[in-house]
């Protein structure tokens, strides 16, 4: 695996040791059980896989390379590099300006750009329309394009499906940058439709099976299908791809559900002609993080701390999983932990930060599940651990605890 050159202040001391130890003992990543650090008053249950993935480290390396190589030029990002406020704020401090917000709203007019400017494409990728606009202005889009290779893999798979006359079904959030980019690329090659969840898949199945009219289809999926999409013809042959940060289990559930729908309509002997096998589009890092989170759920704990940007899709899905078993608190850094009795946690259902009192149980040892999203620097996890050590008055040497795990 390539080692990326990213700013040293994103690295950690505690977590880097934990990850190095697990890698040495499990180089083939077969063991998804968590790492346990017993610190006396607290017991940390740390996920096997979490934090920066390949695509994020690649994006950060390219972004800072752009900054170093162009000290006298204006540097723009199409939108947030990744969904982590600390990383984006640091890029702003280094002089980078955002052209759009995460919803695609313009912050700086395209007319302000000149051929001399540097434009960085974020890890989510971008739409064909925006890429062409930049090329027409003479900007070298490819030089600092940080699009995740696994996102590009989805685009390539979509192209192949399109050539084989499949309609592309995208499992994703239609307003998310990555899904907007994937939709833009896929509709060049095939009719395309976005589904958010199993509820959307059920509606689609109703139409395929003749239970939903074309008018109802158009109303329900408004704004989520490509131009000239013909439901009567374009749903006879489909292939499912996904926004790489979605729950892999949910993508599989949708795929299995639609496969059963096609089986019902066309029969076993014709099934392969009507739905493609697209398991190869799932992102390995998202899969590893989610599988490791399921490993956390096999443990006993008093609560879970999940660290990441509040607009991070992959982090939100980790919260969705963990809250099924534990009281779960979504924080973006150690400052959200006010004391042993108070924490500010982001509620993913109401999209707001809530101040929660008495979140720590009164007991001799408190067990805490700990993980972070794929766009979260490990240093932020280190700082959360140090905050926990401070507020609980831990005197045990954590370095010694980690060394004893070897």
Mean pLDDT of 83-110: 95
> How many Cβ atoms are within 10 Å of 320's Cβ, its own excluded?
16
156-177: per-residue pLDDT in tens?
999 999 999 999 999 999 999 9
pLDDT at 192 over 90: yes
- pLDDT score for 35: 98
Kindly indicate the confidence band of residue 155, based on its pLDDT and cuts at 50, 70 and 90: very high
Q: Tokens standing for 207? A: 């139409």
Cα angle value 32/38/40 (rounded, 5°): 160
- pLDDT score for 129: 97
* Domains of the chain: residue spans and CATH: 8-53+285-403 (3.40.1010.20), 54-136 (3.40.50.11270), 155-282 (3.40.1010.20)
Q: Are strands 342-347 and 352-357 parallel, antiparallel or unpaired?
A: antiparallel
Mean pLDDT of 194-219: 97
pLDDT at 2 over 70: no
Mean pLDDT of 236-246: 95
Kindly indicate the confidence band of residue 214, based on its pLDDT and cuts at 50, 70 and 90: very high
| CA distances for 389 relative to 34, 376, 382, angstroms | 19, 20, 11
Q: What is the residue whose two structure tokens read 């607009």?
A: 311
Mean pLDDT of 207-233: 97
Q: What is the residue whose two structure tokens read 């979605």?
A: 246
CA atoms within 13 A on the CB side of 188: 14
249-289: per-residue pLDDT in tens?
899 999 999 999 999 999 999 999 999 988 767 788 888 99
Kindly indicate the confidence band of residue 230, based on its pLDDT and cuts at 50, 70 and 90: very high
pLDDT at 45 over 70: yes
Mean pLDDT of 206-226: 97
Mean pLDDT of 387-404: 96
- pLDDT score for 184: 98
Kindly indicate the confidence band of residue 6, based on its pLDDT and cuts at 50, 70 and 90: confident
Kindly indicate the confidence band of residue 298, based on its pLDDT and cuts at 50, 70 and 90: very high
Kindly indicate the confidence band of residue 34, based on its pLDDT and cuts at 50, 70 and 90: very high
DSSP bridge partners of 331: 307
- pLDDT score for 219: 97
| CA distances for 26 relative to 20, 162, 214, 325, 406, angstroms | 10, 39, 52, 27, 12
- pLDDT score for 277: 86
Catalytic machinery residues: 178
310-358: per-residue pLDDT in tens?
999 999 999 999 999 999 999 999 999 999 999 999 999 999 999 999 9
State percent of the chain over pLDDT 90.
92
CA dihedral 261, 265, 266, 269 (to 10 degrees): 60
Rounded to two decimals, the pTM is 0.93
pLDDT at 220 over 90: yes
Question: What is the average pLDDT value for the chain, to the nearest integer?
Answer: 95
- pLDDT score for 280: 66
Mean pLDDT of 69-76: 97
Cα–Cα distance between 312 and 233 in angstroms, integer?
A: 36
């Amino acid at each position: 695996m390539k080692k990326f050159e990213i700013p040293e202040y994103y690295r950690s001391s505690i977590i880097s040791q934990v990850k190095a130890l697990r890698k040495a003992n499990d180089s083939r990543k077969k063991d998804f059980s968590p790492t346990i650090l017993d610190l006396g008053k607290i017991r940390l249950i740390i996920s096997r896989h979490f934090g920066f993935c390949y695509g994020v480290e690649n994006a950060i390396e390219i972004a800072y390379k752009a900054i170093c190589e162009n000290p006298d030029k204006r540097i723009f990002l199409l939108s947030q590099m990744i969904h982590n406020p600390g990383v984006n704020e640091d890029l702003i401090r280094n002089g980078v300006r955002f052209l759009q917000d995460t919803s695609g709203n313009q912050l700086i007019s395209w007319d302000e750009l000149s051929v001399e400017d540097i434009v960085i494409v974020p890890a989510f990728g971008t739409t064909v329309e925006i890429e062409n606009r930049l090329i027409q202005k003479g900007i070298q889009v490819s030089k600092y394009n940080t699009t995740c290779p696994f996102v590009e893999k989805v685009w390539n798979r979509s192209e192949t499906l399109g050539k084989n006359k499949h309609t592309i079904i995208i499992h994703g959030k239609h307003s998310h940058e990555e899904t907007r980019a994937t939709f833009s690329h896929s509709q060049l090659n095939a009719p395309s439709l976005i589904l958010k969840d199993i509820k959307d898949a059920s509606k689609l199945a109703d139409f395929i099976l003749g239970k939903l009219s074309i008018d109802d289809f158009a109303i329900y999926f408004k704004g989520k299908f490509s131009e000239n999409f013909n439901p009567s013809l374009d749903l006879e042959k489909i292939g499912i791809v996904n926004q790489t940060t979605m729950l892999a289990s949910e993508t599989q559930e949708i795929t299995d559900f639609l496969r059963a729908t096609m089986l019902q309509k066309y029969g076993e002997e014709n099934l392969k002609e009507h739905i493609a096998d697209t398991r190869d589009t799932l992102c390995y890092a998202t899969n590893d993080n989610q599988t490791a989170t399921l490993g956390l759920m096999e443990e006993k704990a008093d609560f879970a701390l999940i660290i990441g940007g509040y607009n991070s899709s992959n982090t939100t899905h980790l919260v969705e999983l963990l809250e099924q078993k534990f009281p779960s608190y979504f924080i973006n850094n150690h400052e959200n932990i006010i004391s042993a009795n108070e924490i500010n946690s982001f509620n993913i259902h109401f999209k707001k930060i809530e101040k929660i009192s008495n979140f720590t149980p009164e007991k001799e040892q408190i067990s805490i599940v700990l993980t972070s999203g794929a766009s979260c620097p490990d240093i932020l996890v280190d700082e959360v651990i140090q905050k926990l050590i401070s507020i609980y008055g831990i005197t045990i040497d954590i370095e010694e605890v980690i060394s004893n795990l070897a």
